[in-house]
Amino acid sequence: MTTPSSSTGPFASTFTSNSAARTDAERSAVLADPGFGNHFTDHMFLAEWTPDAGWQDGRVVPYGPLLLDPATAVLHYAQEIFEGLKAYAHADGSVWGFRPEANAARLARSAHRLALPELPEDWFLGSIRELVTADRAWVPTGEERSLYLRPFMFASEVFLGVRPSQHVTYSVIASPAGAYFRAGLKPVDIWLSETFTRAGAGGTGAAKCGGNYAASLLPQQEAFAHGCEQVAFLDSVENRWVEELGGMNLYFVQADGSIVTPELTGSILEGITRDSIMTLARDLGHEVVERKVGIDEWRDGVASGQITEVFACGTAAVVTPVGRLAWAGGEVDSAQGEIGKVTAELRAALVDIQYGRAEDRHGWMTQLV
Residues that bind ligand PLP (CB under 6 A): 84, 244, 247-249, 269, 271-274, 314-315
Partner whose footprint covers residue 274, from ligand PLP, ligand COI, none (CB < 5 to 8 Å by kind): ligand PLP
Strand partners, 227: none
Partner whose footprint covers residue 129, from ligand COI, ligand PLP, none (CB < 5 to 8 Å by kind): none
Which of 130, 134, 136, 173 shows the shortest CA–CA distance to 153? 173
Q: Which is nearer to ligand COI, 307 or 322 (CB)?
A: 322
DSSP assignment, residue 155? E
151 binds ligand COI (CB under 6 A): no
Shortest CB 147 distance to ligand COI, Å:
13
Q: Which is nearer to ligand PLP, 62 or 211 (CB)?
A: 211
3-state class (DSSP) for residue 255: coil
Give the one residue of 34, 100, 178, 247 binding ligand COI; rule: CB under 6 A. Answer: 247
Give residues 294-323 in contact with ligand COI (rule: CB under 6 A): 314-316
Shortest CB 56 distance to ligand COI, Å:
27
Q: Which is nearer to ligand COI, 131 or 316 (CB)?
A: 316
Shortest CB 85 distance to ligand PLP, Å:
7
Residue type, 332: V
Other beta carbons within 10 Å of 119 = 22
Q: Which is nearer to ligand PLP, 232 or 272 (CB)?
A: 272
What is the full DSSP assignment across 35-46? TTTS---SEEEE
Closest CB to ligand COI: residue number: 84
DSSP assignment, residue 179? -
Residues that bind ligand COI (rule: CB under 6 A) add up to a total of 5
Partner whose footprint covers residue 271, from ligand COI, ligand PLP, none (CB < 5 to 8 Å by kind): ligand PLP
Shortest CB 277 distance to ligand PLP, Å:
9
Shortest CB 34 distance to ligand PLP, Å:
18
Partner whose footprint covers residue 310, from ligand COI, ligand PLP, none (CB < 5 to 8 Å by kind): none
Pairing of strands 43-50, 168-177: antiparallel
Distance CA 103, CA 85 (A): 7
Answer whether 311's CB lies under 8 Å from 248's CB. Answer: no
Distance CA 123, CA 130 (A): 10
163: Cα separation from own chain's centroid:
28
Question: Under 8 Å CB-to-CB from 313, ≥6 apart: which residues?
Answer: 248, 249, 250, 251, 271, 273, 274, 277, 319, 320
Residues in contact with ligand COI by CB under 6 A are: 84, 247, 314-316
